[in-house]
């Protein structure tokens, strides 16, 4: 059991029967610190299959412990990180990895954000173009232009005289 | 008897809400002032009855009335009083009732504070607000009745989940709900505006305080929740990209966008259609969040079938609320007149870009949270989406947003000179480079991405501060002038500076603790010492404790650095009597530069204890930054210009201005 909104999660969804603190145990730790560090990194990306959205690294379920040991065994046997992950996903399916694979079924997932940004960006471009057209549609007549400049000049003058008075 | 009173009260509240959702609408259509005024009265009546119902349920918890299913399943007579009260919303039915209570409070607040709203707009807002209430009250009464009785009451209750027996439960859910539900007001205003066919600067000025209130509470609620998870779960994590967290984060992202776009409507009378859409989307995400968690959909599509009655009801409500409002939007939005024109590089353009990036970020979280459900429903197999996905998709969207945080406020309205604006940030830029070098030096060449991330945080903070210094002419005018300018800055300006600074500080904390967290686990016997990241933790032994409803083992650690004493940490491991569930109470010594975090586990055969030690660099910066953001929200709210119903000061000021003009003319 984990998750920020503990209470919402607990409300009625998940039966909480795991001790939240357990996680990797001292007896599992590999002697080689480099291998152990890699094992920890992998364990954080592997899902405990019997828990609610929890990596095997922090789960205390028996299955998670077994998987942690499997990960370390594969590493000791000389597997690369990717080898270990594909070893696990071959046996337990993509569900076991927190990084979803990239394929036709997950195409929209990975490219969705870019798609949203792209559509939004194109929308913006059209919006600004519409703006420009709006501006061009109602140009000022020459008389309006001179009148506007006249007003602006007057405004400028009163402003400077005002500030002169107050300061 | 009291439970029956509560039952009666929620039914009366439903009737009041039904009347409130119909009569004021008719009144606004026919310009019948009595029918319109009914909206305000009904909202007060509704609040009264919901409050009564909530009081009845609270009473049942305090006296441990186990004839109620809800109390028997979630409480116990030995539970401390604080958890008896907070336990009222520590379960499905009670939390729905809290939701409805807050909704009713907001409705009544609009009625009370909205005295200077145009009467038709006010009537329509209250009617829409009541419609939401009708949906939730029917859901409560027909599928999740908190007042259901047991024929054979048990001798004692099943107790509240021990993880929830923490002061966090007393504050986190109510704050979060005020945030969620607060966006309902912005939603009601948006729908009312669509019905009226009129959106103007005044409309934006009425909506902004409500949005700001909701945003402030949601920020506080999320931060509080993450802090709670950090100290309660016992392994030092503060954000897990858990679907339950994500559903609260989505309305926050959208609400932040709404807060910014509403500024453009207010000041420039532009982006109206977009702002209306954002208001609808923000509250829709709140609804989706609440309901998706309630229906059990998050665990799996299959668990949806566990309680199909609730699930179907929820889907039906979502379809009406979101589908209905978007349909109304599609019909009425084209009739809203476009406002001022601006070029892409301008204050408006910057805010629009902020909106695009925040929406993209929100879409990313939405996809990550719901994609597995869609895939499973369509028979596409099961996938898990965790932190690696968000690191690759969410973070790249946030980087440009964070980089632009301090640039946007410097851009003038309508048209801006980007080079000139960047020139004004040259000192901030130089200081940022120094900060990056400093971070690189201190961390002895740590991970490059994390150091650059700290650079982004420094840029945000320094840029924001330099904009503030610019505004008060610090060092460019005599200090007394700067002081005068500073105290005259309006609350909303202070709010902006503070919120952006808070965000920068929080980001710095997030990056540091993610990149430089150190953890270790060992089996220690009393007297032994473990050294983690240059700090020694001596394990002094354990002692047994007996709490009100639990037994505990308490370990003692003496923390020291280079032989110099720092702190004593006393983590506990508890076993709750009723549910037989173990929990951990981590012991944390917090400092400005980082937390020292100790957890005690089980005893192993040879008499040693499993001990976990975490060193969390700068982790408190996260919550300090969030606190600044909450303060910023409150400061902005205090801005007189935003406070509806407080025009006296403004009028006085106008008079003063007129007088000074007259003097100048003379």
Which of B89, B163, B380 is closest, CB to CB, to A16? Answer: B163
- Give buried/exposed letters for B634-657 (b at 16+ CB in 10 A, else e): bbbbebeebbbeeeeeeeeeeeee
Between CA B323 and CA B215 the distance in angstroms is 24
Mean pLDDT of the B238-244 span:
85
Q: What is the pLDDT, as a whole number, of residue B301?
A: 52
Q: Which residues of B touch A7 (CB under 8 A)?
A: 89-90, 95, 164, 169, 172-173
Q: How many CA atoms lie within 13 A of B17 on its CB side?
A: 28
Cβ within 8 Å, pair A7-B360: no
Q: What is the pLDDT, as a whole number, of residue B662?
A: 54
Q: Which residues of B touch A165 (CB under 8 A)?
A: 664
Structure confidence at residue A61 as a pLDDT band (50, 70, 90): confident
Q: What is the pLDDT, as a whole number, of residue B24?
A: 93
Between CA B3 and CA B5 the distance in angstroms is 5
Q: For residue A18, give how far its alpha carbon lies from the nearest alpha carbon of chain B (Å).
A: 8
Mean pLDDT of the B449-462 span:
93
Residue B153 above 70 pLDDT? yes
Highest-confidence segment of A76-85, B374-383, B655-664: A76-85
Q: What is the pLDDT, as a whole number, of residue B107?
A: 94
Q: Please state the length of chain B.
A: 666
- A77: number of Cβ within 10 Å: 10
Mean pLDDT of the B580-600 span:
88
ipTM score for this prediction:
0.83
Question: Angle A8-A13-A15 (CA atoms, 0-180°, nearest 5)?
Answer: 110
Cβ within 8 Å, pair B296-A47: no
Q: What is the pLDDT, as a whole number, of residue B255?
A: 95
Select from A1, A2, A5 the residue whose CB has the most chain B CBs within 10 Å, as the one to mutate to test that interface.
A5
Q: Which residues of A touch B177 (CB under 8 A)?
A: none
Residue B72 above 70 pLDDT? yes
Q: For residue A120, give how far its alpha carbon lies from the nearest alpha carbon of chain B (Å).
A: 6
Question: Angle A108-B183-B228 (CA atoms, 0-180°, nearest 5)?
Answer: 80
Which of A7, A13, A100 is closest, CB to CB, to B384? Answer: A100
Q: For residue B332, give how far its alpha carbon lies from the nearest alpha carbon of chain A (Å).
A: 19
Mean pLDDT of the B273-288 span:
92
Q: What is the pLDDT, as a whole number, of residue A40?
A: 85
Residue A18 above 50 pLDDT? no
Token pair for B105: 């409070």
Select from B360, B373, B390, B585 the residue whose CB has the most chain A CBs within 10 Å, as the one to mutate to test that interface.
B360
Between CA B125 and CA B105 the distance in angstroms is 14
Structure confidence at residue A138 as a pLDDT band (50, 70, 90): low
Residue A3 above 50 pLDDT? no
Given CA atoms B514, B517, B521, B524 in this order, what sign does their dihedral have?
A: negative
Cβ within 8 Å, pair A2-B243: no
Highest-confidence segment of B159-163, B403-407, B653-657: B403-407
Q: For residue A155, give how far its alpha carbon lies from the nearest alpha carbon of chain B (Å).
A: 14
Between CA B333 and CA B191 the distance in angstroms is 11
Mean pLDDT of the B393-402 span:
93
- A136: number of Cβ within 10 Å: 8
**Which has the higher per-residue pLDDT, B400 or B379?**
B400
Q: Which residues of B touch A29 (CB under 8 A)?
A: 521
Mean pLDDT of the B309-334 span:
87
Q: Among A116-125, B53-62, B311-320, which stretch is predicted with the lowest mean pLDDT?
A: B311-320
Structure confidence at residue A24 as a pLDDT band (50, 70, 90): low
Q: Which residues of B touch A21 (CB under 8 A)?
A: 233-235, 573, 584, 599, 601, 612
Between CA B39 and CA B50 the distance in angstroms is 16
Q: For residue B616, give how far its alpha carbon lies from the nearest alpha carbon of chain A (Å).
A: 17
Q: Which residue of B has its CA nearest to A14?
A: B299
Q: pTM surpassing 0.80? A: yes
Q: How confident is the prediction for chain B on average, in pLDDT?
A: 87
Between CA B208 and CA B260 the distance in angstroms is 10
Between CA B355 and CA B282 the distance in angstroms is 12
Cβ within 8 Å, pair B384-A47: yes
Cβ within 8 Å, pair A26-B521: yes
Residue B299 above 70 pLDDT? no
Cβ within 8 Å, pair B385-A10: no
Q: What is the pLDDT, as a whole number, of residue A5?
A: 41
Which of B341, B382, B521 is closest, CB to CB, to A93? Answer: B382
Q: Which residue of B has its CA nearest to A58?
A: B235
Select from A82, A97, A113 the residue whose CB has the most chain B CBs within 10 Å, as the one to mutate to test that interface.
A113
Q: Which residues of A touch B94 (CB under 8 A)?
A: none
Percent of chain B with pLDDT over 70: 94
Q: For residue A57, give how far its alpha carbon lies from the nearest alpha carbon of chain B (Å).
A: 11
Residue A6 above 50 pLDDT? no
Which of A12, A96, A99 is closest, CB to CB, to B389? Answer: A99
Q: What is the pLDDT, as a whole number, of residue B422?
A: 87
Q: Which residue of A has its CA nearest to B397?
A: A113
Between CA B229 and CA B423 the distance in angstroms is 43
Q: Which residues of B touch A93 (CB under 8 A)?
A: 381-382
Q: Which residue of A has its CA nearest to B383?
A: A95
Q: Which residues of A touch B664 (CB under 8 A)?
A: 162, 165-166
Mean pLDDT of the B568-597 span:
88
Cβ within 8 Å, pair B610-A47: no
Cβ within 8 Å, pair B384-A98: yes
Structure confidence at residue B50 as a pLDDT band (50, 70, 90): very high
Mean pLDDT of the A131-142 span:
63
Residue A166 above 60 pLDDT? no
Q: For residue A98, give how far its alpha carbon lies from the nearest alpha carbon of chain B (Å).
A: 5
Between CA A80 and CA B398 the distance in angstroms is 32
Q: What is the pLDDT, as a whole number, of residue B404?
A: 92
Structure confidence at residue A14 as a pLDDT band (50, 70, 90): very low
Q: What is the pLDDT, as a whole number, of residue B643?
A: 53
Q: For residue B454, give how far its alpha carbon lies from the nearest alpha carbon of chain A (Å).
A: 23
Q: What is the pLDDT, as a whole number, of residue A4?
A: 41
Q: What is the pLDDT, as a whole number, of residue B9?
A: 95
Q: Which residue of B has its CA nearest to A105?
A: B380
Q: What is the pLDDT, as a whole number, of residue A8?
A: 42
Q: What is the pLDDT, as a whole number, of residue A22?
A: 46
Highest-confidence segment of B85-89, B132-136, B224-228, B313-317: B132-136
Which of A4, A13, A23 is closest, CB to CB, to B225? Answer: A4
Mean pLDDT of the B426-443 span:
90
- For B566, counting Cβ atoms within 10 Å of its Cβ (0-12 exposed, 13-18 middle, 19+ buried), the class is middle
Highest-confidence segment of B11-20, B85-94, B231-240, B524-533: B11-20
């Amino acid at each position: 059991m984990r998750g920020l909104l503990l209470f919402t999660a607990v409300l009625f969804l998940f039966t909480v029967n795991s001790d939240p603190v357990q996680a990797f145990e001292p007896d599992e730790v590999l002697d080689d610190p480099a291998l152990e560090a890699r094992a920890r990194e992998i364990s954080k990306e592997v899902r405990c299959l019997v828990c609610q959205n929890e990596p095997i690294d922090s789960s205390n379920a028996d299955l998670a412990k077994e998987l942690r040991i499997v990960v370390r065994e594969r590493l000791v046997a000389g597997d690369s990180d990717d080898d270990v992950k594909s070893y696990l996903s071959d046996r337990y399916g993509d569900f076991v990895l927190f990084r979803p694979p990239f394929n036709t079924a997950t195409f929209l997932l990975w490219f969705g954000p870019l798609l949203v940004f792209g559509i939004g960006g194109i929308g913006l471009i059209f919006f600004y173009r519409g703006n420009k057209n709006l501006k061009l549609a109602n140009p000022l007549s020459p008389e309006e232009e001179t009148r506007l400049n006249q007003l602006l000049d007057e405004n400028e003058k009163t402003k400077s005289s005002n500030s002169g008075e107050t300061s | 008897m009291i439970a029956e009173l509560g039952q009666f009260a929620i039914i009366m509240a439903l009737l009041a809400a039904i009347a409130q959702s119909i009569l004021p609408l008719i009144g606004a259509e026919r310009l019948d002032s009595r029918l319109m005024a009914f909206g305000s009265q009904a909202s007060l009546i509704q609040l009264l009855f919901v409050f009564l119902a909530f009081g009845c349920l609270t009473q049942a918890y305090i006296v441990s009335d186990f004839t109620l299913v809800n109390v028997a399943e979630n409480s116990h007579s030995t539970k401390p009083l604080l958890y008896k009260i907070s336990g009222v919303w520590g379960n499905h039915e009670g939390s729905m009732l809290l939701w409805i209570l807050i909704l009713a409070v907001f409705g009544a607040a609009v009625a009370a504070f909205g005295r200077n709203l145009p009467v038709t707009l006010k009537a329509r807002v209250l009617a829409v607000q009541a419609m939401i209430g009708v949906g939730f009250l029917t859901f409560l009464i027909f599928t999740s009745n908190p007042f259901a009785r047991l024929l054979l009451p048990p001798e004692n209750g099943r107790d509240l989940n021990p993880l929830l027996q923490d002061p966090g439960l007393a504050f986190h859910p109510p704050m979060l709900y005020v945030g969620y539900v607060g966006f309902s007001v912005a939603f009601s205003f948006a729908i009312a505006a669509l019905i009226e066919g009129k959106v103007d600067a005044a409309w934006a000025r009425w909506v902004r305080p409500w949005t700001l209130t909701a945003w402030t509470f949601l920020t506080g609620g999320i931060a509080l929740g993450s802090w709670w998870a950090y100290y309660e779960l016992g392994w030092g994590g503060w954000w897990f990209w858990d679907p339950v967290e994500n559903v609260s984060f989505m309305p926050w992202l959208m609400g932040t966008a709404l807060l910014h776009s509403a500024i453009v409507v207010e000041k420039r009378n532009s982006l109206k259609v977009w702002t209306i859409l954002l208001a609808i989307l923000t509250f829709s995400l709140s609804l989706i969040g609440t309901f998706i968690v309630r229906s059990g959909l998050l665990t799996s599509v299959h668990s949806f079938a566990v309680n199909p009655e609730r699930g179907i009801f929820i889907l039906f409500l979502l379809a009406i609320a979101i589908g209905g409002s978007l349909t109304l939007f599609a019909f009425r939005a084209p009739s809203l007149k476009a406002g001022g024109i601006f070029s892409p590089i301008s204050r408006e353009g910057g805010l629009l870009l902020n909106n695009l990036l925040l929406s993209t970020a929100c879409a990313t979280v939405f996809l990550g949270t719901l994609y597995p459900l869609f895939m499973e429903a369509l028979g596409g197999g099961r996938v898990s989406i965790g932190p690696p996905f968000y690191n690759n998709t969410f973070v790249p969207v946030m980087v440009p947003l964070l980089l632009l945080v301090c640039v946007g406020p410097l851009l003038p309205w309508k048209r801006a000179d980007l080079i000139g604006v960047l020139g004004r940030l040259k000192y901030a830029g130089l200081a940022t480079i120094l900060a990056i070098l400093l971070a690189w030096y201190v961390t002895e060449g740590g991970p490059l991405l994390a150091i650059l991330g700290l650079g982004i945080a420094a840029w945000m903070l320094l840029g924001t501060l330099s904009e503030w210094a610019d505004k008060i002419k610090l060092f460019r005018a005599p200090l007394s002038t700067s002081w005068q300018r500073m105290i005259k800055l309006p609350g909303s300006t202070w709010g902006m500076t503070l919120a952006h600074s808070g965000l920068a500080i929080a980001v710095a904390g997030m990056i540091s603790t993610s990149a430089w967290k150190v953890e270790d686990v060992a089996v220690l016997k009393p007297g032994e010492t473990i050294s983690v990241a240059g700090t020694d933790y001596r394990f002094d032994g354990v002692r047994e404790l007996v709490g009100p409803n639990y037994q505990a083992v308490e370990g003692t650690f003496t923390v020291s650095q280079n032989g110099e004493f720092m702190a004593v940490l006393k983590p506990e491991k508890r076993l709750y009597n009723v549910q037989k569930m173990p929990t951990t109470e981590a012991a944390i010594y917090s400092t400005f530069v980082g937390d020292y975090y100790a957890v005690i586990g089980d005893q192993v055969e040879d008499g040693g204890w499993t001990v976990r030690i975490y060193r969390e660099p700068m982790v408190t910066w996260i919550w300090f930054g969030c606190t600044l953001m909450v303060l910023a929200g409150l400061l902005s709210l205090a801005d007189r210009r935003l406070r509806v119903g407080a025009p006296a000061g403004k009028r006085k000021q106008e008079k003063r201005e007129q007088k000074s003009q007259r003097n100048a003319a003379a």
